């Protein structure tokens, strides 16, 4: 079970002690992501994640890496649309030293212009790599169409143009605006004592100003039906998506079971129908991409271009069958057992537990223990699943495709199929 304390400056400190491990995973989370950017800042949340590793008054970039490595630590960071996390996993007695490095980065980074100029090129290479990975990039196209004009629909990484414009003043102003105590949650899981982590955070992060949350735009926007890109690829990569169940919605547990039944494992309906019975794809799955107040239920399929229309029709028909017929008790029980087992197994690592707690707490969502999560999944009924089917599967879809086909011709063919 987790423990929670709040420091004098407003930082929340959450810990979960795990017996029979020697490691600790520590994450310093900030409620800032690409959702919080404004014109001229697109991609800056992700760029800041890079820049915090580029040097402080006490350590240059090489020294930061060497100091982590000398402690035997695994360290990294990641940026989402709603939060950013700086984390490390380390042997328990080295936690204070590792936390000291992370705190130095977060409170003392210089953002010197030479490092910014160099890191721009790294991020632009990252953008190019994303565009060359169509099974990833199709998700970006889908987001643009599912939430057009909203920051949740923009790429986290930004564009070549936006990244190319960042200067030192931009980074310093963004840190002042978002990297403060009101936006900060410290989460540690593993071999630890709660009070020791609280005292460590109070000592090392006392320089963070109190601050306050920035307002976020309403996520309710009207989606577009298609986003198509012609590209010379061996496969056609398709996302068939619908509005989903948000991370704060009481129906999220039923939605997880629905996702799993449709495309969450090898026995799922879409996997069996598209891959096993017909051999039309290697990769086919369904999932929900959720935010605090919005979500997208998505089906991904990669298939040979000549099979694209057949596959799209099969996806549509399987979703329609679930909407009309629902699940039976046997399928629901199987999905509950599978999801519960997968959830328990995933939480056997200190890092997984830290990420579960941190991603929930930084967005001020309900913190549930593992046992409470299992109870919520067990409590899902057939009526709950059918209610979620009605909320999701009857909505008009958004379809994103990367394929060798001319976009106008493909859109006309898909429109006929979806009618």
Query: Of residues 49, 119, 144, 318, which has the active-site annotation?
Result: 49
Residue 210 lies in a domain: no
Phi-psi region of 82 (alpha: psi -120 to 50; beta: other; left: phi over 0): alpha
Q: What is the CA radius of gyration of the chain?
A: 23
Residue 220 lies in a domain: no
Question: For residue 159, how many C-alpha atoms fall within 13 Å in the half-sphere facing its CB?
Answer: 7
- Read off the pLDDT of residues 64-115 as tens digits, 9 standing for 90 and up: 999 999 999 999 999 999 999 999 999 999 999 999 999 999 999 999 999 9
Residue 217 lies in a domain: no
Same domain, 195 and 230: no
Same domain, 193 and 273: no
- Read off the pLDDT of residues 163-177 as tens digits, 9 standing for 90 and up: 999 999 999 999 999
Residue 221 lies in a domain: no
When pLDDT is averaged across residues 11-38 and rounded to a whole number, the result is 97
Residue 156 lies in a domain: yes
Same domain, 265 and 404: yes
Same domain, 186 and 136: yes
Same domain, 249 and 110: no
Q: State the residue for tokens 């959830």.
A: 343
When pLDDT is averaged across residues 341-356 and rounded to a whole number, the result is 95
279 touches 333 (CB < 8 A): no
When pLDDT is averaged across residues 320-338 and rounded to a whole number, the result is 97
Number of domains in the chain: 2
Q: Domain boundary at 171, 204, 237, which?
A: 204
Distance (Å, whole) CA 38 – CA 34: 9
Q: Is 49 a catalytic residue?
A: yes
Same domain, 188 and 263: no
Tell me which H or E stretch contains 271. none
Q: What is the mean pLDDT of the chain?
A: 97
Q: Which of 60, 50, 140, 55 is nearest to 86 (CA)?
A: 50
pLDDT(217) > 70:
yes
Provide the residue range defining the domain that includes 287: 226-418
Same domain, 402 and 305: yes
Same domain, 276 and 140: no
In this structure, what CATH number is given to the domain that contains residue 14?
Answer: 3.30.830.10
34 touches 81 (CB < 8 A): yes
Q: Which residues contact 337 (CB under 8 A, 6 or more apart)?
A: none
Same domain, 148 and 261: no
Q: What is the pLDDT of residue 419?
A: 67
Q: Which of 223, 81, 78 is nearest to 152 (CA)?
A: 81
Residue 211 lies in a domain: no
Tell me which H or E stretch contains 243. strand 236-243
Residues of the chain with pLDDT > 70, as a percent, come to 100
Beta bridge partners of 190: 17, 24
Beta bridge partners of 227: 400
The C-alpha torsion from 172 through 177 and 178 to 179, rounded to 10°, is 50
Distance (Å, whole) CA 59 – CA 36: 29
CA distance to 33, 77, 145, per residue, from 128 (Å): 21, 20, 21
Angle formed at CA 251 by CA 353 and CA 395, multiple of 5 degrees: 120
């Amino acid at each position: 079970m987790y423990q929670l304390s709040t420091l004098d400056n407003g930082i929340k400190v959450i810990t979960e002690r795990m017996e029979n491990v020697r490691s600790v995973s520590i994450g310093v989370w900030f409620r800032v992501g690409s959702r919080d950017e404004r014109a001229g800042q697109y991609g800056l949340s992700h760029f800041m994640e890079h820049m915090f590793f580029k040097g402080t008054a006490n350590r240059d970039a090489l020294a930061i890496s060497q100091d982590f490595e000398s402690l035997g630590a695994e360290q990294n960071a990641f940026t989402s649309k709603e939060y950013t996390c700086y984390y490390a996993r380390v042997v328990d007695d080295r936690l204070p030293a590792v936390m000291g490095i992370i705190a130095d980065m977060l409170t003392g980074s210089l953002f010197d212009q030479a490092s910014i100029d160099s890191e721009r090129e790294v991020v632009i290479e990252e953008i190019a790599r994303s565009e060359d990975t169509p099974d990833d990039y199709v998700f970006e196209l889908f987001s643009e169409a599912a939430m057009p004009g909203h920051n949740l629909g923009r790429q986290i990484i930004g564009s070549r143009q936006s990244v190319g414009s960042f200067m030192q003043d931009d980074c310093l102003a963004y840190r002042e605006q978002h990297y403060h105590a009101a936006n900060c949650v410290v989460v540690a899981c593993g071999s630890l004592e709660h009070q020791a982590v609280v005292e460590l955070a109070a000592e090392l992060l006392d320089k963070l100003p109190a601050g306050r949350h920035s307002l976020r735009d309403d996520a309710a926007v009207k989606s577009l039906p298609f986003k198509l890109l012609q590209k010379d690829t061996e496969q056609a990569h398709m996302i068939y998506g619908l509005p989903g169940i948000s991370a704060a919605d009481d129906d999220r547990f039923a939605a997880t079971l629905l996702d799993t039944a449709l495309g969450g494992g090898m026995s799922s309906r879409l996997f069996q129908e598209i891959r096993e019975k017909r051999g039309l794809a290697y990769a086919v799955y369904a999932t929900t991409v959720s935010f605090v107040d919005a979500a997208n239920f998505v089906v991904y399929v990669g298939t040979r271009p000549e099979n694209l229309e057949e596959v799209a029709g099969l996806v549509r028909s399987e979703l329609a069958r679930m909407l009309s017929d629902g699940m039976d008790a046997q399928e629901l029980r199987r999905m509950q057992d599978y999801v519960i087992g997968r959830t328990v197994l995933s939480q056997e690592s200190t890092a997984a537990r830290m990420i579960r707690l941190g991603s929930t707490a930084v967005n001020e969502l309900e913190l549930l223990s593992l046992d409470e999560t299992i109870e919520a999944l067990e409590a899902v009924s057939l009526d709950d699943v059918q209610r979620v089917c009605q909320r999701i599967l009857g909505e008009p879809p958004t379809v994103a495709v990367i394929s060798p086909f001319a976009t106008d011709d493909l859109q006309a063919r898909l429109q006929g199929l979806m009618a």
